Every structure is written in structure tokens, then in C-alpha cells.
Copies of this chain bind each other. A is one copy, B any other.
Amino acid sequence: MNRNELVTQIKSKRSFLCVGLDTALEKIPKHLLDTEDPIYEFNRQIIDATHEMSVAFKPNIAFYEGLGAKGWMSLEKTINYLNTNYPEVFTIADAKRGDIGNTSLQYARAFLSNLNFDAITVAPYMGEDSISPFLSIPDKWVILLALTSNKGSDDFQMLEVPGGDKLYERVFKTTSQWGNQGNTMFVVGATKAEMIGEIRKIIPEHFLLVPGVGAQGGSLEDVARYGLNKDCGILVNASRSIIYASQDEDFAEKAREEALKLQRQMKYFLENSELINL
């Protein structure tokens, strides 16, 4: 998917919501455990219930790998379901990969070609040649870890490097040169929303993927205030607060309600920024 298609979808759905599919057997409603593939069945119902107010879905690959080959089959069925039924939706493999070029090429094929995700999250530590294989596939995206929302983000991301930058700022500056605004996004934790204003000075145009709203406590209002640009420029991810809104038979309905709450707020922020008409 290219940038124009993504922006068109955002304006049409009046939403910049990404739903995180962190699907775990121990958390999904009990009645689904009797189905042939409970993980897929859960995802399918969540997707059907929330796709109208969501522009992106983001399976967290760890949760599928935790179930071995069976988990991979659930993942394959989920992404195929998305690509077949909702081709307008932006799909993200949240995999945090990154390795030497030869190996990154294998990951790029796995997620962007074979599974046909639109985007994959990647880690920058190994440098340009670990990321370029992902950027070589047309109309696909990398989403680089830059400033994460966890406590450990202080350990290295906040270190000062020559020139007065913090490491995460250097990561923005350096990695934004590897690709362009049409194939590169950045992960920025919502719990660091106040820093998004500074980040926007470095990368005014790029899309940001912002996790941490909801269960992790980040403020959607702050993220919108500091993050929105002329193309919207943000995707805000919520996982647990939506998909586990209920653990009973009404889980899909409750997930839809939670997604709708977020979408209504997003519509308000988009209107306020005059990105969509009232």
C-alpha cells in the first residue's frame, strides 16, 4: 500500500486507529476454545467488528510464535483474511526484526512477500544494511524502533551521542535517510507524547506508529496534539483495551464499542486540525 492510499483511508474512515492483535489463548473467551482454530476465530470476529473504524491491524508476531507451527497457521489465516476481505486496511507485522543483510532478506520475504503484510517493525541497532532489504520491496514499509514506551528505553535510547543528540534522535536522523516518507515510519511510545513535538522538528512528514494508548496509559489527546501533520501522520495502536474489552461471548461487540470510542475522539482531532471536513 502506498502513502496516498493510506491517507485516503484515514480520511474516509475518519480514524487513525490501529488494532493490535496480541491474541493469547489464555485471554480469549472460553467458548472459542472449542473451535478448530481459536486464535484465528477470535481475530476474524475482532476484525469484522472493528474494521469500519480501524485503518490498520497489527498482529504481534510473538504471540503466534509462542504457539509454534500451529500459531503460524493462525497468523497466515489472519493475514489472508485481512488481505482478501479488507484490502483497504494497512497491515503491520509487529516483529521487531533486524539482522545481517542476507538474513534480513529472508525476514523481508517471510513477512512482506509471502505473508503479504504492508509493513514490518524493525530494530535499528545493526545499521543500514540490516534494514535495506526490507526497503527494497515496492509499496512495502518498515516501521523503525526509535523511542519506545517501556522503562528500559532509558538504558540506551536516551544516551547522548556526538553533536548533542540523544541516541533516539540520531536514529531518527540517520534512518530517515535510508528510505523516504513513502516507505518508512517510526515507533514512538505514547507515554512519551510530550516528546513528539520535538520529534516532529526532525521528521515533520513521516508517519509515526504510536503504541501505549489504553492499557499502557498514554494520552490520545497529547499524541494528536503533538503528532498530527498535514497527512495525519500518525497511527495510534490499541491492543488489549480493545480486543479484551470483554472476555465473554459479547467480546466482538465490546471491542467494537471500544474502537468506536477511540475513533470518535480521532474524528474530533482530525476535524479540529482541519484534516477532514466537519
Contacts and interface: CB of A to CB of B under 8 A. Distances in A.
Given A68-B115, A97-B96, A153 B167 contact: no
Contact of A68 (B65, B104, B114, B148): B114
Contacts of A102: 22
B157 A167 contact: no
A159 interface: yes
A127 B151 contact: yes
Nearest to A161: B159
Given A62-B99, A97-B96, A159 B152 contact: no
A204 interface: no
Given A100-B148, A126-B145, A167 B156 contact: yes
A158 B157 CA distance: 14
Contacts of A156: 124-125, 127, 167, 170-171, 174
B103 A130 contact: no
B126 A65 contact: no
Given A160-B161, A160-B162, A161-B167, A127 B99 contact: no
A202 interface: no
A72 B75 CA distance: 12
Contacts of A72: 65, 68-69, 72
Interface residues of A, number: 58
B125 A150 contact: no
Which of A103, A114, A125 gathers most chain B CB within 10 Å? A125
B68 A110 contact: yes
A94 to B, nearest CB: 8
Interface string A109-148: 1110011000000011111111100000000000001001
A253 interface: no
Contacts of A91: none
Contacts of A157: 125-127
B127 A125 contact: no
A106 interface: yes
B66 A110 contact: yes
Contacts of A65: 72, 106-107, 110-111
Contact of A155 (B123, B148, B174): B174
A150 B132 CA distance: 13
A73 interface: yes
14 contacts: A22-B102, A60-B106, A62-B104, A63-B103, A66-B114, A68-B76, A123-B125, A126-B148, A126-B152, A126-B153, A129-B152, A155-B174, A159-B170, A160-B161
